[in-house]
A and B are shown apart, each in its own frame.
Chain A
Amino acid sequence: MENHGQHTQAGHHDQHGHEDDHHHEESFVSKYIFSMDHKMISRQFLITAVLMAFIAMMMSLMFRMQLAWPGEKFWILNFILGDKWAPDGILDPGMYMQLVTIHGTIMVFMVLTGGLSGTFSNLLIPYQIGARDMASGFLNMLSYWFFFLSSIVMLMGFMVETGAASGGWTVYPPLSALPQAMEGSRMGMTLWLVSMTFFIVSALLGGLNYIVTIINLRTKGMSMTRLPLTIWAFFVTAILGVLSFPVLFSAALLLIFDRSFGTSFYLSDIYIGGQALEQTGGSPILYEHLFWFLGHPEVYIIILPALGLTSEIISVNARKPIFGYRAMIGSIMAIGFLSFIVWGHHMFITGMNPFLGSVFVFTTLLIAIPSAVKAFNYITTLWKGNIRFTPAMLFAIGLVSTFISGGLTGIILADSALDIPIHDTYFVVAHFHIVMGVSAILGMLAGVYHWFPKLFLRHMNKKLGYVHFWGTFISAYGVFFPMHFLGLAGLPRRYYSNTAFPMFDDLVDINILMTGFAILGAVAQIIFLFNFFYSIFRGPKSEVNPWNSNTLEWTTPMENTHGNWPGALPVVHRWPYDYSKPGKEQDFVMQTVPLAEGEVDGGGH
């Protein structure tokens, strides 16, 4: 750590500083396990998230098989789940509920919150603002290990006798509060709450660290309006997380009290299991308010980092400045602010006061304006560009497409009157999977391909990347586009089987089509997994700035040095988007290059 201390003394460096790092021996444990280095923590987050995403994807395949071929026997289900949960290879209804619940929870929290922010905030914040590391390496390490613990506890649900939590990822009480209501509300639900508690601790430790680092540790010349949009997105995301996760914690805490200590925050006038419960005076609506006060900012916690990564990747690979840099910052902030006053649109039909509903319609539809600005700005960035189709660029363009198509159906759902007949149907499932699930995953994968050289110092294979992109993109639309029609046919979500009502009998074609695409999508992800793990160890070594980018992370040598820059910290002289600037020799000008005489910074502002 003494060497590290020397490094932070910017300007007091000579060649020896660099050499020292090689002599500085670290134990295996402090280097790979309890590491406090932002790059290693970033890798830990990424690999954990990739594995969790794979597990959650396999879960979705299992319930998609049940939906396409209800009652069919699949020996593979019996093989994976055993006789209790898939007797004769037919998925048990309780298991179906567990799978949809844990699939949702893992994807929303472990993959797209912990995995996405954890990986890229950790990797890029110190690198792109020119800092040696996070403000607190120790808290950062704790953030990962709480995340890891949370992931493990979440999966442990499947190992208890009564199964994992199964009340849907939103775990509304009283269903989740009453062990008598379903098996999944017993031990599995307790584990879910414990896991979420760890997760919230992780998110708060991480978020506070990101905010403090961005405010305090920017290098000389890195003003807020010279930050890459990635950092702006991570910054606003972290603020959202710090303000909203404590509310989820309070919701979970009250739920724990209701479950275990006989309180009645969410319970009132309930008769179950042959007896009337004592609890009275509480309301499940309170839980819904608390949950969605996190829950809605949460979807922006998921999508903003993906949009930030996309902004950077589109600009670099179109070889053009991102169009409307300041408007992009403005929209990120507007989306962040608005996300706190729209949660009621999840509750139009809960019996909430209709006037309150109208207010939420208004605020929700306002979000469409900054979102539209972002979409148009991405498209304009492509206009008259010189587009280099790296796999990352493909994923970024894919994100723009899904962000638009999923966002548009959101306009229908935000309209309270139109929400009535499609609330909680597959139309909603299609909407949020496209706009939040698919978009954020595409953004995250774009980030993985683009920053792989900074993560693992090597390159991924481009051809496998191309196959992966087209397989993923086509199957994502193949699964979720037809899904809208299920909702418009009146099919509710979270139905174990659609065979109980004749009105759904003719929808089986759509379900088979979707499951077919889901299997194709899974094959594409296996290609990715291979490319990912193979390239970590055996991919070709990367040069220092493989994409000819302007940002600071590409000024560091391609090695894992403690403190990132072997010498003094870089000094920033310009905004990060000087691509193809007229009068320059190359089509990029790094942020460390001083302004020429008379040159104006920041895209003509």
Chain B
Amino acid sequence: MIEFLVYVAIILTVFAIGYLVRVFELSSSLKGSKPHEITEKDNKTMGKIMLTFLVVFFLFVIWNLVKFVPKMLPESASEHGVGLDWLFNFNMAILFFVFTITHIILFYFSFKYYGRKDNVATYFPHSNKLEMIWTTIPAIVLAIIIIFGLKAWNKITAPASDDAIVIQLYGKQFDWTARYAGKDNQLGASNYKLITDENALGMDATDNKGADDIVVRNEFHIPLGKEIEFKLNAREVIHSAYFPHFRAQMNLVPGMTTMLHFTPTITTADMRKKPYVVEQMRAINARRAERGDKPEEFNYVLLCNKICGNSHYNMQMTIVVESVEDYNKWLASKKPYFNKE
């Protein structure tokens, strides 16, 4: 029935457009206007709309900033992330300045120099001096941006220290597994050919280094203030381990091991108490209540950020940052994979 109505509606729309066209043609031929010639009045109107757009656009930008910035990620929970956030804001300040200036002159010129009948444009084909200026200034600004950026990059990508805690993160369609290296801080060997339903990581039982390895799912814990080195592996397709709160990300690539490391600086419990986070969670839980979902507490999460299949959007893993003592207690409660009783 509904399909039939849709077809009727489509046919009626076609007829309606046909009639509109005829009305439109008749009225324009009556007025004798040339529907393509641009008059001075058109120029003036468009010039004014250009200026109006400039104002409305900047109001929209400011409204966006006021409304949406409080929904952004909370302060960085990792050591390097603090510097990254600063660098981001520094660059954004420069860019926002350029954005504002260029847009003001672009739309202001469009308004100021709208075409008048008796006016003639100024013949101004080039100026070496001006072109020199706007080649040099961007070059200098970019040099500054590059220097700051590469300094941060080199620091972040430098190898992890030797006493960093080693954790393997294993991604497959569509979940995560974390594997702790245990007391020896060395991961045992694994081989994709050993994978079974039971041994999801394909861990090699004959490798002594793996005897104390601990495997956890759904949630993993990391200690405050300690450097963590993640070794990343994927089972079948590329995934990406994205830690938005820690400003860290690295792809998982089948056939190779990739690495990333960071040092958490705020525990989950402390983050939950930050006023910014409290306010965000209040808004989030209000939304959830509207939908009829139960309220949630703030959690650090690990997201998959490389398209990996139909359920890419739902690869869940919670990260808990806690004090070293709590972390040790938690880890001690877990049994190594190969001596499950």
**A357 proximity list for chain B (CB < 8 A):** 153, 157
Task: Give the Cβ gap from B326 to chain A, nearest Cβ, in Å.
Answer: 23
- Are B38 and A538 in contact, with the CB atoms below 8 A? no
Cα(A496)–Cα(B308), bound, Å: 12
Check A284–B102 contact: CB distance below 8 A.
no
A386 contacts B120, C-beta separation under 8 Å: yes
Given contacts A397-B106, A489-B71, contact A319 B125 (CB under 8 A): no
Q: State the CA gap A358–B156 with chains docked (Å).
A: 12
Known: A481-B60, A488-B73, A506-B283. A375 touches B102 (CB 8 A): yes
| Closest A residue by C-beta to B130 | A380
Bound-state CA distance A281–B146 (Å) is 36
Q: Which residues of B contact A354 (CB under 8 A)?
A: 153-154, 157
Contacts of B253 in A (CB 8 A): 283-285, 350-351
Chain A residues whose C-beta falls within 8 Å of the C-beta of B198 in the assembled complex? none
Whether the pair B256, A417 counts as a contact (CB closer than 8 A) is: no
Chain A residues closer than 8 Å to B237, beta-carbon distance: 174-175, 178, 181
Q: Give CA–CA (A509, B290) in the complex, Å.
A: 13
A-B pairs, 7 with minimum CB distance = A268-B255, A603-B125, A490-B244, A459-B36, A354-B157, A389-B46, A351-B258
Q: A412 with B92: in contact, given A271-B195, A505-B288, A506-B283 (CB under 8 Å)?
A: yes
- List A contacts of B122 (CB < 8 A): 320, 383-385, 580
A323 interface residue per 8 A CB criterion: yes
Residue among A167, A382, A397 with the most chain B CB within 10 A? A382
Residue of B nearest to A453 (CB): B36
**How far, in Å, is A498 (CB) from chain B's closest CB?**
8
A400: chain B residues at CB < 8 Å are 106
A496–B42 Cα distance when bound, in Å, is 45
Once the chains bind, are A494 and B307 in contact (CB under 8 Å)? Answer: yes
The contact of A485 among B68, B88, B195, by CB within 8 Å, is: B68
Task: Determine if B113 and A384 form an interchain contact, defined as CB atoms under 8 angstroms apart.
Answer: yes
- On whether the beta carbons of B115 and A501 are closer than 8 Å, the reply is no
| Stretch of B131-139, B160-168, B177-185, B213-221 with 4 or more beta carbons under 8 angstroms from chain A | B131-139
Which A residues from 489 to 505 make CB contacts under 8 A with B?
489-490, 492, 494-498, 500-503, 505
Bound-state CA distance A482–B313 (Å) is 21
Chain B positions 268-300 with a Cβ under 8 Å from a chain A Cβ: 280, 283-284, 287-288, 296, 298-299
Given the known interface contacts A417-B84, A501-B303, the answer about A385 and B310 at a Cβ–Cβ threshold of 8 Å is no
Q: Does A93 contact B (CB under 8 A)?
A: yes
Q: Is B311 an interface residue (CB 8 A)?
A: yes
Q: Cβ of B245: which chain A residues have Cβ within 8 Å of it?
A: 490
Say yes or no: is A217 at the interface (Cβ < 8 Å to chain B): no
A546 sits at the interface (CB 8 A): yes
Picked from A283, A322, A397, A478, the residue with its CB within 8 Å of the CB of B255 is: A283
User: Is the CB of B69 closer than 8 A to any CB of chain A?
Assistant: yes
Known contacts A409-B95, A421-B244, A580-B122; is-contact A270 B236 (Cβ 8 Å):
yes
Closest chain-B Cβ to A211's Cβ sits at a distance in Å of 28
- A281 CB contacts on chain B under 8 angstroms: 255
* CB atoms of A349 and B131 under 8 A apart: no
B306 within 8 A of A: yes
Complex-state Cα separation, A506 to B290, whole angstroms: 11
A401 in the interface (beta carbon within 8 A): yes
Q: At the interface with chain B, which of A114-122, A461-469, A554-562? A: A461-469
26 A–B contacts from the bound complex (CB under 8 Å): A181-B236, A276-B195, A284-B255, A318-B113, A349-B251, A351-B258, A354-B157, A357-B153, A365-B142, A372-B135, A379-B109, A382-B106, A386-B121, A387-B115, A388-B38, A404-B103, A412-B91, A415-B149, A421-B247, A424-B242, A477-B57, A485-B68, A502-B288, A503-B299, A510-B68, A605-B126
Q: For the complex, is A267 an interface residue (Cβ under 8 Å from B)?
A: yes
Given contact pairs A97-B307, A280-B255, A462-B42, a sample of 4 additional A-B residue pairs in the complex whose CB atoms are under 8 Å apart: A394-B46, A401-B103, A408-B99, A502-B284
**Which segment of A132-140, A228-236, A324-332 sits at the interface?**
A324-332
Chain B's nearest CB lies how many Å from the CB of A279?
A: 9
Q: Give the residues in chain A near B119, CB-CB below 8 Å.
A: 386
Is A321 a contact partner of B115 (Cβ separation < 8 A)? no
In the complex the two chains form, what is the Cα distance from A296 to B125 in whole Å? 32
Q: Which single member of A388, A423, A494 contacts B249 (CB below 8 Å)?
A: A423
User: What A residues does B125 contact at CB under 8 A?
Assistant: 321-325, 577, 603-604
**Which residues does chain B contribute within 8 Å of A417, judged by CB atoms?**
84, 87, 149-150, 152-153, 156
Q: Mark B69-107, 1 if CB is under 8 A from A, else 0.
A: 101110000000100100110011001001100110111
B248 adjacent to chain A (CB < 8 Å): yes
List the B side residues contacting A183 at CB < 8 Å. 310
B11 interfacial by beta-carbon distance below 8 Å = no
Q: Chain A residues near B60 (CB, 8 Å)? A: 477-478, 481
CA distance A546 to B37 in the complex (A): 9
Given contacts A268-B255, A477-B60, contact A383 B310 (CB under 8 A): no
> A269: which B residues are within 8 A, CB to CB?
192, 254-255
| A420 CB–B CB distance under 8 Å | yes
What 0/1 readout, one digit per residue, does chain B (23-43) give for beta carbons within 8 Å of chain A? 001000000001111100011
B99 → chain A closest CB, angstroms:
6
B209, CB-defined interface residue at 8 Å: no
**B287–A506 contact, CB under 8 A?**
yes
The residues of A that contact B107 with a CB separation of less than 8 Å are 401
Indicate if B321 sits at the interface (CB-CB under 8 A): no
A496 nearest in chain B by CB position? B313
Q: Which residue of A lies closest to B105 (CB)?
A: A379
For A405, list chain B residues within 8 Å (CB).
99, 103
Docked complex: A267-297 residues within 8 A CB-CB of B: 267-272, 276, 280-285
| CB atoms of B124 and A530 under 8 A apart | no
Shortest CB-to-CB span from A415 to chain B, Å, is 4
Interface residues of B in 231-269 (CB under 8 A from A): 235-238, 240, 242, 244-245, 247-251, 253-256, 258-259
Q: Please give, as numbers and ranges, the residues of chain A lying within 8 Å of B124 by CB-CB distance.
A: 320-321, 323, 380, 383-384
Q: Which of B98, B121, B152, B306 contacts A579 (CB 8 A)?
A: B121
Interface check A215, CB cutoff 8 A: no
Q: How far is the CB of A522 from chain B (nearest CB, A)?
A: 15
The answer to whether A389 and B38 touch across the interface, beta carbons within 8 angstroms, is yes
Inter-chain contacts of A394 with B (CB < 8 A): 46
Docked Cα-Cα span, A216 to B166, in Å, equals: 63
Interface membership of B226, Cβ < 8 A: no
In the complex the two chains form, is B313's CB within 8 Å of A93's CB?
A: yes
Residues of A within 8 A of B123 (CB): 320-321, 579-582
- Find B145's partner among A365, A387, A389, A534 (CB 8 Å cutoff): A365
A372-B149 contact given A97-B310, A283-B256, CB 8 Å threshold = no
Chain B residues in 8 Å Cβ range of A409: 95
Which residues of B sit under 8 angstroms from A172, Cβ to Cβ?
Answer: 238, 306-307
Residues of chain B contacted by A534 (CB below 8 angstroms): 21
Cross-chain contact of B284 among A386, A390, A506, A605 (Cβ < 8 A): A506
Does A20 make an interface contact (CB < 8 A)?
no
Asked if A594 CB lies within 8 Å of chain B CBs, one says no
Bound together, the chains give a CA A200 to CA B240 distance in angstroms of 30
Option from A386, A404, A473 in Cβ contact (under 8 Å) with B115: A386
User: How far apart are the CA atoms of A257 and B6 in the complex, in Å?
Assistant: 45
User: With A421-B248, A466-B46, A502-B284 known to touch, is A271 a contact of B192 (CB < 8 Å)?
Assistant: yes
B3 CB-CB contact with A under 8 Å? yes
Interfacial chain A residues near B88, Cβ < 8 Å: 412, 418
A523 within 8 A of partner (CB):
no
Q: Does A58 contact B (CB under 8 A)?
A: no
B233 to chain A, nearest CB (A): 9
**Residue A376 is within 8 A (CB to CB) of chain B in the complex:** yes
